[in-house]
Amino acid sequence: MRIGNASGFYGDRFDAMREMLTDGPLDVLTGDYLAELTMLILARDRLKDPSAGYARTFLRQLEECLGPAHERGVRIVTNAGGLNPAGLADAVRYLADRLGIPVRVAHVEGDDLTAAHPGSLAAHAYLGGFGIAACLREGADVVVTGRVTDAALVTGPAAAHFGWGPTEYDRLAGAVVAGHVLECGAQATGGNYAFFHEGDVRRPGFPLAEIHADGSCVITKHDGTGGFVDVGTVTAQLLYETAGARYAGPDVTARLDTVRLTQEGPDRVRVEGVRGEAPPPTLKVGVNRLGGFRNEVTFVLTGLDIEEKAALVRQQMGDALAESPPTEARWDLVRTDRPDAETEEMASALLRLVVRDADQQVVGRPLSGAAVELALAGYPGFHVLAPPGKGAPYGVFEDVYVPHSAVTHVAVLHDGRRIPVDPPKASAAPAALQEVSGPPLPEPPPPGPTIRAPLGLLAGARSGDKGCNANVGVWVRTDDAWRWLVHELTADRFRQLIPESRDLPVTRHVLPNLRALNFVVEGILGAGVASQARFDPQAKALGEWLRSRHSDIPEILL
């Protein structure tokens, strides 16, 4: 069964859906439009218009792609329904009628728990793939969901196609791994890849998985499309936004420590050996709330006395805001300046002030007025990148967990029939979800000459966000490099290399089959991406920062 993906987020390449349909054969085309931040964006849309709440881009893509999909017999499965899957399903039916294309549209519901979380803008459980499977088994051509796990877009079609039951954990786990590799689109085909220079990634194609009845698969892409697929690109995506060896989901817990990757040919990576276990007894629920209001201003400091200029403006702004101080004021001085610079921009540093408060008035006019009034009364060369505005709302995200019985998972078919989806027949006790011990670590390499060099000359990395936490996956490509890395890059060494993490809990997970380490840094992202608590609010570049840090690397490895 060939399953391709045409979207990794709300805003991904618009033409990808058409390209995936026309560049090669597929059985199912998926589209992943949802992320933690997207749910907040859609919730704000719904506040303005109760009929909104879904990814409108999907409808525009479908206008030119529904015909080709129907002609080729490709079924479409998407979570673009967001907060309003029934509304999007109706919109797709209207579009199909207008285009004169006979398609059966079904949707999945039951994830919306907003009413059970007073004060939230959106609270949605992450459902599994068996609602999607029920829709497909009953003949749906297009299946629209709300908040399901990203991997469910693949496990659902695979379960329907191969007839898998809810306790066929190894097969389901294989599909979860395939879905996790596909879910972020071009990140599996060379996009955002540490060793991007090894292929042409100017316009990477989107990935697809050839899934077999035993749950194994081959990750590939359509012939002639850009980018590349190798063990490294697949490893990078496997590590993305995960934690330990057990990757828990609503249908199955996939054992990432059992994954085996083999380069089968050009742009073909076989994924096999995945073991699965019963899912946990609870479902994850993503809760988005309004956190308050934020405002910011960036002062440009040029030339000499950068530290003294920064101290002056901090004192002046502090005095001006003292009458009505915001709840939080954060200053960051970014030393982008160079001595004896050949351009003014290269001679300048940036001093950023971010304020937050529950009252928009506190972060609005007081900050704007105080910053602008310093224009002729501040440090020499005073100017800002842009004047501050009125202050904008920001959201906060948190995970909570509920029993499976707290949701009513339903497949709503094209003819109006409603098929309830049963919760898992079994679940793993919470104690069983603790980290696995794994095989013993290999012996460290023998002593020898070392070179002080960036870690990234040897190791790849990919990082991302999960609520307030960040994960950084690090991998190497040879056994000798693994012997060094697994002993060198401990959690304590990670804290030394990433000073932001020194006072935070850092957990290291070891994945020997992938020659990989995965670090989870708790709390580094504040209240989640929408709160914009740091320069890189989704920790997308945290791994690249780590790769740029220097270590004493054995000379023989370089």
The first and second tokens of residue 529, run together, are: 């991406």
Q: How confident is the model at residue 533 (pLDDT cuts 50, 70, 90)?
A: confident
Domain 290-390 - what CATH class?
A: alpha beta
Distance CA 430, CA 254 (A): 15
Q: Which of 180, 167, 203 is nearest to 30 (CA)?
A: 180
- Structural contact between residues 511 and 256, judged by C-beta atoms closer than 8 angstroms: yes
For 43-57, 134-148, 164-178, which range has the lowest pLDDT when averaged over its residues?
A: 43-57
Place of tokens 């060094």: 484
CA 472 distance to own-chain centroid: 12
pTM of the full structure? 0.94
What per-residue confidence (pLDDT) applies to 6? 98
Question: Is the Cα dihedral 340, 304, 375, 349 positive or negative?
Answer: positive
Residues 456 and 467: their CA atoms lie apart, in Å, by 26
pLDDT digits (tens, 9 = 90+) for 473-532: 999 999 999 999 999 999 999 999 999 999 999 999 999 999 999 999 999 998 777 777
Neighbours of 115 (CB within 10 A): 8
Q: Delimit the domains of the chain by residue range.
A: 2-279+399-420, 290-390, 450-557
φ/ψ bin of 53: left (φ > 0), alpha (ψ from -120 to 50), beta (otherwise): left
- Which residues lie below 8 Å from residue 441, measured CB to CB, with a gap of 6+? 486, 487, 510
Which whole number is the average pLDDT over 251-268? 97
The answer to whether the beta carbons of residues 372 and 385 sit under 8 Å apart is no
pLDDT of 356-389, one tens digit each? Answer: 999 999 999 899 999 999 999 999 999 999 988 8
Yes or no: say if 129 and 166 are a contact pair by the CB < 8 Å rule: no
- Burial (Cβ within 10 Å: 0-12, 13-18, ≥19) of residue 418: exposed
Closest CA to 130 of 425, 524, 493, 471: 425
